[in-house]
Amino acid sequence: MRIIGLVGLGIVCFLAAVLVPVIATGNFSKEGLAKLSGRGAPEAIVEEEAPDDVTPLVRALRQREDGLAKREAKLKEDEERLKMMQADLDKLRAELKTVQAQITQALQAADVDKKARLEEVAKSLAEMKPQNAADTLKEWPPEDAANVLRLVKDKERGKILDSMDPEKAAIVLRAIQERVL
């Protein structure tokens, strides 16, 4: 028993001799004990080994994140630009519809006006002597003559065509026929 007591007392003295200076210097932590035992801190080992393997990966990841952030910013910018362009396009479409409606309305008014003028000319031709009306239409293009003669009553149209040169009358009749189809 004495031997066990002496061995125990030796161990306690050894521990006291080691622990008192460790505690006094502030190294009584996992890192401090690891340094004293010669093993070093596990983080230090990771840090020493990691720079070769992890640092390029971290840099690559950061570069990738930066690239993605730049792409995202460009996409947002492009989206905004597209929204603005879409709004401009919608505005232009509305303006185009308005202009198109105005043009259609003007064309309809012009058609009504043209028809009224053609009816006036047709009435004047119908009131003329057939020979004078034929002489007047002799100089007109066949399509115009056909348009006016369409508005003249059949009986008067026949008299006017009968007074025309047969070749010119045939051309005008053909123009009347084509327009009806």
- With a CB cutoff of 8 Å and minimum separation 6, the contacts of 169 are 161, 162
Under DSSP, the state recorded for 140 is: S
Residue 76: what pLDDT?
96
User: Which three-class secondary structure state does DSSP give residue 28?
Assistant: coil
Q: Which of 24-33, 55-64, 109-118, 132-141 has the lowest mean pLDDT?
A: 24-33
pTM: 0.43
H helical segments located in the chain: 2-25, 30-37, 42-127, 130-138, 142-150, 154-163, 166-180
Condensed to tens digits (0 to 9), the pLDDT of residues 71-130 reads 999 999 999 999 999 999 999 999 999 999 999 999 998 888 888 888 888 888 888 898
Angle, CA 80 vertex, CA 78 and CA 65 arms, to 5°: 50
**Mean pLDDT along residues 136-152:** 89
What is the dihedral angle through the alpha carbons of 14, 17, 23, 29, rounded to the nearest 10 degrees? -30
pLDDT band for position 46 (cuts 50, 70, 90): very low
Longest dimension (CA), the chain: 163
Residue 51: what pLDDT?
53
Tell me the residue type at 76.
Answer: K
Distance (Å, whole) CA 128 – CA 124: 6
Q: Are 149 and 161 in contact (CB under 8 A)?
A: yes
Distance (Å, whole) CA 35 – CA 15: 17
- With a CB cutoff of 8 Å and minimum separation 6, the contacts of 38 are none
Condensed to tens digits (0 to 9), the pLDDT of residues 7-43 reads 888 888 888 887 777 777 776 677 766 776 666 555 5
Q: Are 3 and 14 in contact (CB under 8 A)?
A: no
Q: Are 146 and 175 in contact (CB under 8 A)?
A: yes
